[in-house]
Amino acid sequence: MSVHTFPTLFRVEVVARPSKSIKSPYVADIRLDDGTVVLCHTPGLGCCGLVAPGKFIYVSKAANPKSKTAYTAQIAEDKDSEGTHYVGIHPMVSQAIAGKLLDKISPSATWKSEVKVDAHTRIDFVGTTPEGKKIYVEVKNAMISRCTDPRAIRRAVFPEGFRKSKAVAVSPRAVKHAETLVELAKLPDTDATYLVFTIPRNDCAAGLELNTEDPIYCKAVANAQAGGVNVRVFGLDFQPSGTVTFEKELTFHSPK
């Protein structure tokens, strides 16, 4: 099932991240086919080494011609013992794709995106059923896999990223969303709440596991499931041709 098509993509080599001229972690220097080095927006940061010097990524031209970055990183090229595979590295693309898969949660609901549910929190998607009940969906993008198992048993991992101390969560925002879904599940007009993980890579056939090095988030998700929050995992296949397809639903390995 096709769910997204990029405009023309260009295969480029990463020269430096952060860029040598703009010291933002969201900007990299890339080398085009003609040898020119230009600036590239990297919304997914370094993706745990996928966007690093010497790596190859696929980029699209910046939508805004006045942008300081001429290109935007979309897909990373990665290799293992089974060959080359590709990883979607623009988080907002995967979130937008999740919005196209909401009929797998409720084909009859009417959906809105980025809905404010309290003074400090927005939920990615809120659906209203024909009966007037609410369905709340929060999406997280699991683009990283740390294991070298064969692809048939390989898992993606979430969350993954830098933190100053093991005493804090990798993503306090993700913890807050899990806690908010529990509270939303208690409301009398709530039909269901969902935590949806997208895996924008086709090498993790065994699904998704939570990062056990982040016990705070693991506990938050375990509490969410105990509080009635449903967890779904959608596997996506990104290709350098620019096509993205929904592969299938994958297994969620609950925190122990």
User: DSSP per residue over 99-126, as a string?
Assistant: HTTGGGT-TT-EEEEEEE-SSS-EEEEE
- Non-local (6+) Cβ contacts of 254 within 8 A are 221, 222, 225, 231
- Non-local (6+) Cβ contacts of 165 within 8 A are none
CA nearest neighbour of 209 among 151, 152, 160? 160
Alpha-carbon distance of 198 to 141, in angstroms, equals 5
Alpha-carbon distance of 256 to 222, in angstroms, equals 8
Give the three-class secondary structure for 157.
strand
Q: Give the pLDDT of residue 165.
A: 75
Q: Give the pLDDT of residue 67.
A: 86
- Rounded to two decimals, the pTM is 0.93
Give the three-class secondary structure for 98.
helix
- Non-local (6+) Cβ contacts of 126 within 8 A are 111, 112, 115, 117, 134, 135, 136, 137
Task: Specify the CATH class of 90-253 in words.
Answer: alpha beta
Q: Give the pLDDT of residue 256.
A: 67
- Non-local (6+) Cβ contacts of 152 within 8 A are 205, 206
List residues bridging with 112 in a β-sheet. Answer: 126
Q: In angstroms, how far is CA 57 from the centroid of its own chain?
A: 17
Question: Cα-flanking dihedrals φ and ψ of residue 58, to 5°?
Answer: -115, 130
Contact 139, 198 (CB under 8 A): yes
Question: Cα-flanking dihedrals φ and ψ of residue 164, to 5°?
Answer: -75, -25
Query: Which pLDDT tens digit goes with each residue over 188-246?
Result: 999 999 999 999 999 999 999 999 999 999 999 999 999 999 999 999 999 999 999 99
Q: Give the pLDDT of residue 161.
A: 82
Q: Which amino acid is at 179?
A: E
Give the three-class secondary structure for 93.
helix
Span(s) in the chain for CATH 2.40.50.580: 2-86
Q: Which amino acid is at 223?
A: N
Alpha-carbon distance of 250 to 191, in angstroms, equals 23
Q: Which residues of the chain have pLDDT under 50?
A: none
Q: Going by CATH, does the domain composed of 2-86 fall within 2.40.50.580? A: yes
Q: Which amino acid is at 249?
A: E
Span(s) in the chain for CATH 3.40.1350.60: 90-253
